[in-house]
Amino acid sequence: MTTTLPTRPRASRIDPRLDLFEEIERLKRQMNAVVLAHYYQDPDIQDVADYIGDSLGLARQAAETEADVIVFAGVHFMAETAKILNPTKQVLLPDLAAGCSLADQCPADRFEAFRQQHPDHLAITYVNCTAAVKALSDIICTSSNAVAIVNQIPRDQPILFAPDRNLGRYVIAQTGREMLLWQGACIVHETFSEKKLIRLKVEHPGAAVIAHPECEPNLLNHADFIGSTTALLKYAQASDRQSFIVLTEAGIIHQMQKACPDKTFIPAPPEASCACNECPFMRLNTLEKLYLCMRDRTPEVDLDETLRLKALKPIERMLAMSPR
Ligand code: 13P
Ligand code: SF4
């Protein structure tokens, strides 16, 4: 399964004298728009957002907002989920190419064939997938509610879990349930080096290792705490520790540092000497593109109504089964 990495072209149609922070605030008022941002966005984007959250928090915000326009600073599946929940609202995404390696690795036709091979299995699918895959699923989950959702399924019900094998393995370990796993992985979370992590732990003996469940199991074995991006942030805030080695996309460190200015956050190093711990899809969005998509009201995420209604059901089941 291959993933084509996106590049990040510069937006060049903006008067350089404009203060983009002020302009975005003005457009928000003018359009009655809300800006929702994931923690993996550039710090500038996080700073203009009305709400910053993990996938579940963002889906909930999208379901509850009274704004007319949702400007989604995240990746395509997140904006698509907002549109599925809000068919009458305009949903803007600064760069339509902001995809996700997990979604790419689970094409709907192959997922449908997988389901047909296992007709007795309930399909619990990670939200990091296309609307077409959601429409073929029974229940959607995110990294913050996957364990709680699987625990609500009767124990004699066989389950298949897609597309992230690492989150799937983590859920199996937490619930003791057997699940058939789709073999997908996140290109960012599979990049961390165990050797370099061990070296960092030696250099920072007091640091807590905190990790997203999309990481490979050998990395998760080193973690003092495993959770979704929101859970990692809350853990860092509540912990007595002064330093943390962070095994997830480095964008979250902006909020961690803001919430805990006296604590130290060390991004876990990737295998290669690259910025591979930044998601190339998330980072396609820039402040410039955010401004342009609001000014021009494009690009917009749209969806066929029949597909939307099919994809809505498993998302609604997720929201009903998610603890607050
Ligand atoms: P969260 O559920 O923590 O938002 O994770 C989403 C994601 O894409 C992680 O790579
Ligand atoms: Fe997808 Fe990984 Fe980027 Fe999250 S970090 S959006 S799972 S590619």
For residue 297 the two structure tokens come to 């009201």
Q: What is the pLDDT of residue 139?
A: 98
| Atom of ligand 1 minimally distant from the CA of 186 | 10
Q: Where does 183-270 have alpha helices with state H?
A: 194-203, 217-220, 229-238, 252-259
**What is the predicted pLDDT for the residue at 10?**
55
pLDDT at 324: 83
Test site for ligand 2: of 1, 133, 249, most ligand atoms within 8 A of the Cβ: 249
pLDDT of 156: 97
Cα-to-centroid distance, 259 and ligand 1 (Å): 19
- Of all protein residues, whose CA lies closest to atom 8 belonging to ligand 1? 128
Q: Which residues line ligand 2 (CB under 6 A)?
A: 75, 100-102, 128, 186-188, 214, 249, 279, 281-282
Nearest atom (ligand 1) to Cα of 75? 8
Ligand 2 centre to CA of 200 (Å) is 24
Q: Of 291, 284, 293, which Cα lies nearest the Cα of 25?
A: 291
Ligand 1 centre from 248 Cα, in Å?
Answer: 9
Overall CATH class of domain 194-267: alpha beta
Q: Tokens 């003018």 belong to which residue?
A: 30
State the Cα–Cα distance between residues 311 and 21, nearest whole angstrom: 35
For the CA atoms of 118, 120, 125, 129, what is the dihedral angle to 10 degrees?
A: 40
Query: How distant is the alpha carbon of residue 250 from its chain centre?
Result: 13
Distance 229 CA to ligand 1 centre (A): 6
Residue 9: CB atoms within 10 A of its CB come to: 11
pLDDT of residue 13: 80
Domain ranges of the chain: 20-99+281-303, 102-186+307-321, 194-267
Q: Tokens for 308? A: 């939307």
- Matching fold, domains 20-99+281-303 and 194-267: yes
Q: What is the pLDDT of residue 62?
A: 94
Q: Could you list the mean pLDDT of each consecutive 10-residue stretch along the chain, which spans 324 residues?
A: 59 85 98 98 98 96 96 98 96 98 98 98 98 98 98 98 98 98 97 95 97 98 98 98 98 98 94 84 98 98 98 97 89
Q: Rounded to the nearest whole angstrom, what is the distance from the C-alpha of residue 83 to the centroid of ligand 2?
A: 19
Q: What is the pLDDT of residue 11?
A: 54
Beta-carbon contacts of 274 under 8 Å, excluding residues fewer than 6 positions away, are none
Provide the CATH topology of domain 20-99+281-303.
Rossmann fold (3.40.50)
CATH H superfamily, domain 102-186+307-321: NadA-like (3.40.50.10800)
Residue 2's pLDDT is what? Answer: 52
Q: Does the pTM of the predicted model rise above 0.85?
A: yes
CA of 198 to the centre of ligand 1 (A): 24
Nearest atom in ligand 2 to 75's CA: 6
Using an 8 Å Cβ cutoff, are 282 and 41 in contact? yes
